[in-house]
Amino acid sequence: MSKWYPKNGRVIFHVDMNSFYASVEMAFDPSLKGKPLAIAGNPEERRGIVVTSSYEARKYGVKTTMPVGEARRLCKDLIVMSPTFERYRAASKEMFKILTEVTDMIQPVSIDEGYMDITACHEQGSPPEIADQIQSRIKDELDLPCSIGIAPNKFLAKMASDMKKPMGITILRKRDLPNKLWPLPIEDMYGVGEKTAGKLRKMKVETIGDLANHHVIELKNVLGINGERLQNRANGIDNRPVDPEAVHEFKSIGTSTTLPHDTTDEVEVRQVLRRLAAKVEARMKKKSVLARNVQLMIRYHDRKTITRSRQLPDFVESSDELFQAAYHQFDEHWNQQPIRLLGITAQDLVEQAEVTQQLDLFSYQKHAGKEKLYHVIDTLTEKYGHNPFQKLKSPSDARMTTSFQKDFLDDFKNN
């Protein structure tokens, strides 16, 4: 058993439910099993978006984010259903309950995946035996398939769980990297998005192995500190612990401004909130995080201050989403008295790379409809050094805020 449980290392699982939404619907209605199934909003409309699909549907080329009309053209027998989120939440709760019977060292990542540290579980059997027991229980008790990656750290466990689906159990050790990990195309690496992959390919980094062996100085010049971090991951280096408390942490990024004069002008308030939302978005992008909660602060002319927060159904990242959440609260809670100060804070933050957002129709189509606009704005911002659609500030506006100082201290502490 000692060969499985190193004295100075860890044994990490990544448990990933397979085609979760579709699998839950099949467990609820067994007549759907073995049939091509897609979960999508507005299934009767061709412009609806596929949220997830069964493996039977995927054989025909049906993919997540694909319009329903296109999916039906690819698979004429495709069954399309609307999502039932309460059913998915209940299934997720039962799945994590099974995991907690093995260890309390669990870090949920999303509704259908999480990490486990089983380093102290040697009395329960070898890691493959424990993984098989977990997989079997989830299948037998919930009628749901899952894949499990076994590795010495979180990154490799995540990569391993993706290597065999559905119902796979994959072991990925550091000595396996040259044969199992490095031949994969760079786009298959967790944490490498489309834009980063494009930059890497320009450096002739085509595979994960190319990244592992590339000149780190060039990687840092092009990608900043993330270049070195990605190379470490490609070489199997990831020291992040499985943190059971991470799901309960309430990190925040916020900013506020004192108005030049007390105001009751709603047009002015909207303009101020949009500027604040843009600031918060910029700092969220810098830290590569998403928010699940938005807080509004209002300070009145008599210095009375109120804060109101709103938990959102999905993670958000754009200034428009932040503004809408904040203004909704303003519209609901403003007492019509003159306002001296306004503030917006994004809360319940998670790292973007750690989130596999479960898309419902409304949130996805909202993002998809604006994707081209966001791309144009990002392109012009990168070209000109600022967002040309936002009014440039005068030097008197370039004041250091307390939130800026807090970010600096946070970064300093992490160095």
* One domain for residues 268 and 320: yes
143 within a domain of the structure (yes/no):
yes
Structure tokens at 284: 């969220």
* One domain for residues 276 and 300: yes
Rounded Cα distance between 24 and 136, Å, is: 16
pLDDT at 312 over 60: yes
Looking up residue 183, the CATH number of its domain turns out to be 1.10.150.20
Report pLDDT for 375. 52
* One domain for residues 271 and 345: yes
From 25, 113, 321, 354, the catalytic residue = 113
Rg (CA), the chain: 24
Higher pLDDT, 191 or 14: 14
244 within a domain of the structure (yes/no):
no
Rounded Cα distance between 263 and 307, Å, is: 18
Rounded Cα distance between 147 and 149, Å, is: 7
pLDDT at 111 over 80: yes
Rounded Cα distance between 372 and 353, Å, is: 22
Q: How many domains does the chain have?
A: 4
Rounded Cα distance between 382 and 363, Å, is: 26
Length of the chain: 415
* One domain for residues 121 and 197: no
Stretch 199-206: mean pLDDT: 96
pLDDT at 199 over 90: yes
pLDDT at 11 over 90: yes
* Portion of the chain with pLDDT greater than 90, in percent: 64
Of 30, 64, 86, which residue sits at a domain end? 86
Q: 378: annotated binding-site residue?
A: no
* One domain for residues 333 and 229: no
Rounded Cα distance between 397 and 45, Å, is: 48
pLDDT band at 395 (very low <50, low <70, confident <90, very high): very low
Stretch 233-249: mean pLDDT: 86
381 within a domain of the structure (yes/no):
no
* One domain for residues 224 and 287: no
Mean pLDDT across the chain: 85
Q: 410: annotated binding-site residue?
A: no
346 within a domain of the structure (yes/no):
yes
Tens digit of each residue's pLDDT (9 = 90 or more) over 56-90? 999 999 998 888 999 999 999 999 999 898 899 89
Report pLDDT for 384. 52
414 within a domain of the structure (yes/no):
no
Positive or negative, the Cα torsion across 129, 130, 131, 133?
Answer: positive
Report pLDDT for 152. 96
* One domain for residues 268 and 188: no
Report pLDDT for 135. 98
* One domain for residues 153 and 107: yes
Report pLDDT for 251. 66
Stretch 346-370: mean pLDDT: 58
95 within a domain of the structure (yes/no):
no
Per DSSP bridges, beta strands 37-40 and 79-81 are parallel
* One domain for residues 261 and 327: yes
391 within a domain of the structure (yes/no):
no
* One domain for residues 279 and 361: yes
* One domain for residues 202 and 168: no
Rounded Cα distance between 226 and 221, Å, is: 10
Give 40's contacts (C-beta < 8 A, 6+ positions apart).
48, 49, 50, 51, 68, 71, 80, 81, 82, 83, 361
- How many other C-beta atoms lie within 10 A of the C-beta of residue 383? 9
* One domain for residues 189 and 172: no
Report pLDDT for 45. 60
Structure tokens at 334: 């403003």
Domain encompassing residue 49: 20-86
Report pLDDT for 350. 80
Of 58, 86, 114, which residue sits at a domain end? 86
Report pLDDT for 176. 96
Question: Would you say the pTM of this structure is higher than 0.75?
Answer: no
Of 128, 156, 177, which residue sits at a domain end? 177
Looking up residue 149, the CATH number of its domain turns out to be 3.30.70.270
Rounded Cα distance between 110 and 402, Å, is: 32
275 within a domain of the structure (yes/no):
yes
Which segment, 108-112, 143-147, 221-225, 258-262, is predicted with the most confidence on average?
A: 143-147
Higher pLDDT, 230 or 194: 230
Tens digit of each residue's pLDDT (9 = 90 or more) over 203-234? 999 999 999 999 999 999 999 888 999 999 99
- For the question of residue 113 being annotated catalytic, the response is yes
Report pLDDT for 246. 73
Site of tokens 């804060």: 307
Looking up residue 289, the CATH number of its domain turns out to be 3.30.1490.100
pLDDT at 351 over 80: no
